[in-house]
Amino acid sequence: MLNKLFKHEMKANARFLLPLYLILFVLSLINRVIIGLDIFDGALAIIPRFSIFAYIVSIIAVIVVTFIIMIMRFYKNLLSDEGYLMFTLTVESHQLIISKLLTAAIWIVSSVLAVFASLLLVFANPDSISEIWYQIRLGLTELDVIFKGRTTLLFIELAILAIFGLIHNILMIYLAIAIGHLFNGHKLLGSFVAYVGISMVMQTIISVLAAIVGSIFRESVTNVLSLPNFIFPIGIFTILILIVLYFFATNYIFRNKLNLE
């Protein structure tokens, strides 16, 4: 059933994002051509200005819409009237959360990739690409020196941190929405307050944890190798615990405290 939920959720998101990606792609092409032409003098200079303005707006739109859709799909589909449908399907509530989470993560990553690809499409040429390559390889060699050959480990850890961090942020928003939904009326305000509350509690806990780790391992914290060796692993572990916590808290609210109007 999870794959069916996932399929429908991807479709529900695609109807907003695919047209936006298309607009972004078209505007990228237009800007590439206009920048290459360089023939707009005098009053005509308005054309490249306008096209670059439209392009920037489309980038912002892709990012903002991706973010808003993540919130709207969770709230509207599960906790407004549509919730009567979703919570009486022959699925478990945790499958609803997972399908939303996976879909949101995939669309966020694709939106970032789409923006990145469009920037290359507008600005890249053979010279700049080889320059970028050169700089990346230079950076990698320097990192290898600093981290004494532990760069691969470092990158694996960074990748895990990025993925877990993304999942953590989405689930934190989901939990805040679920908590806000417990209020009768002022649900939006409740969600917002819940989000601020969760952030503050978690930041306090993380600061305390960091202080403790820092004082125990005072010697090694100043060593750059401590990043891949234990600071990142501790970070990954902490985020993982938070992910599990948020997930089960949201699912608990859905199972026991559902408050559909």
Partner 1 sequence: MSAILECNSLTKKYASLTALNNINLSLERGRIIGLLGPNGSGKTTLIKLINGLLVPTSGTLKIAGNLPGTATKKVVSYLPEKTYLPDWMKVSETIDFFKDFYEDFDEKKAYEMLDRLHLDPQKRMKTLSKGTKEKVQLILVMSRKADLYCLDEPIGGVDPAARDYILNTIISNYNENATVLISTHLIADIENVLDEVVFIKEGSLMLHASVDDIRTKEGKSIDTLFREVFKC
Site for partner 1, rule CB under 8 A: 1, 4, 7-8, 12, 15, 77, 81-85, 87-92, 255-258, 260
Rounded to a whole number of angstroms, the minimum distance from the CB of residue 170 to partner 1 is 21
Pick 90 or 222: Cβ nearer partner 1: 90
**How many helices (H) and strands (E) would you count in the chain?**
10, 0
What is the distance, to the nearest Å, from the Cα of residue 20 to the centroid of all Cα atoms in its chain? 17
Rounded to a whole number of angstroms, the minimum distance from the CB of residue 77 to partner 1 is 7
Pick 23 or 91: Cβ nearer partner 1: 91
Tokens representing 197 are 């509350």
Rounded to a whole number of angstroms, the minimum distance from the CB of residue 93 to partner 1 is 9
Pick 97 or 115: Cβ nearer partner 1: 97
Contact 40, 134 (CB under 8 A): no
DSSP 153-179: HHHHHHHHHHHHHHHHHHHHHHHHHHH
Burial call 203-225: b when 16+ CB within 10 Å, e when fewer: eeeeeeeeeebeeebeeebeeee
Pick 12 or 158: Cβ nearer partner 1: 12
Rounded to a whole number of angstroms, the minimum distance from the CB of residue 89 to partner 1 is 5
Rounded to a whole number of angstroms, the minimum distance from the CB of residue 184 to partner 1 is 8
Dihedral angle, C-alpha 4, 159, 209, 149, nearest 10 °: 150
Helix axes 46-74, 93-123, angle to 10 degrees: 170
